[in-house]
Amino acid sequence: MGQNTYPFQLVPLPYAYNALEPYIDEKTMHLHHDAHLQTYVNNLNAVLKDHPMLHSWTLEQLLAYSDMLPEEIHTAVINNGGGVYNHNFYFANMQPHAQQTALSGNLLHAINSEFGSYDNFKAKFKQQALAVFGSGYTALVLNHNGSLEIMNTANQNTLLNEGVCLIMLIDVWEHAYYLKNYNVRANYIDNWFNVVNLSLAEKNFEKCIIMEVQNANW
């Protein structure tokens, strides 16, 4: 993932800009990654520049322990650091449709038992993503009870200080879909399900389970 402390760098896409066509268009990917994400990276570095004691903090630490940040940069770190973290997760959790494999293993089992079926999960996830008012994200997480849960987060807030573990994340800011889908977020969500990286979601789920067990043993 590149360097994870100040100065933060733009993480390259793990696939070509046109690799998600026709579901997510190349022009959107260029703007989204090269303009929007780059701006969050630049702004985060500018905010941290005069705070050398924070230069050894990872992005996760800055966001999970944001209450410990100096007041004058608190909001800017949440907005810009969150913008970097959320986008890095979002871009990494997509892949070309041709490489998509069917969901299997423990995550499929957990989805079936929580939501009834993968199709029911998709319908519920879509409904919740449509309910994000304004800008934000929708995520599948493992919560502190060890259950799967769909959660929304506003603006560039992350779920890092919510005590939940991220499995899957969709960006529903208009900049993620407006060029291709105009205002129709529902079409974008349907398209996104064709390029979400399900094998990565399975790996994330396994990591979340291990973290959950470790936390329970504290």
Q: Among 173, 177, 188, 192, which residue sits at the site for Mn ion (rule: CB under 5 A)?
A: 173
Sheet containing strand 165-171, edge to edge, reads 148-154, 136-142, 165-171
Q: In angstroms, what is the minimal distance from the CB of 176 to Mn ion?
A: 5
* Window of 18-26, 108-116, 172-180, 210-218 that interacts with Mn ion by CB under 5 A: 172-180
Q: In angstroms, what is the minimal distance from the CB of 135 to Mn ion?
A: 8
Using alpha carbons, select from 53, 49, 64, 59 the residue that is nearest to residue 3. 59
Residue with the closest Cβ to Mn ion?
Answer: 171
Comparing CB distances to Mn ion, the nearer of 142 and 176 is 176
Q: In angstroms, what is the minimal distance from the CB of 87 to Mn ion?
A: 6
Comparing CB distances to Mn ion, the nearer of 36 and 124 is 36
Are 63 and 160 in contact by the 8 Å Cβ rule? The answer is yes
Q: In angstroms, what is the minimal distance from the CB of 137 to Mn ion?
A: 8
Q: Among 156, 171, 180, 195, which residue sits at the site for Mn ion (rule: CB under 5 A)?
A: 171
Residue ranges of the alpha helices (H) in 65-197? 71-92, 105-115, 118-130, 178-181, 185-192
Residue 115 near Mn ion by CB under 5 A: no
**144 secondary structure, DSSP code:** T
At 42, which helix (H) or strand (E)? helix 38-48
* Window of 2-10, 106-114, 140-148, 171-179 that interacts with Mn ion by CB under 5 A: 171-179
SS3 139: strand
Q: Which parts of 193-212 interact with Mn ion (CB under 5 A)?
A: none
What separation in angstroms does the CA of 13 have from each of 159, 184, 210? 22, 25, 27
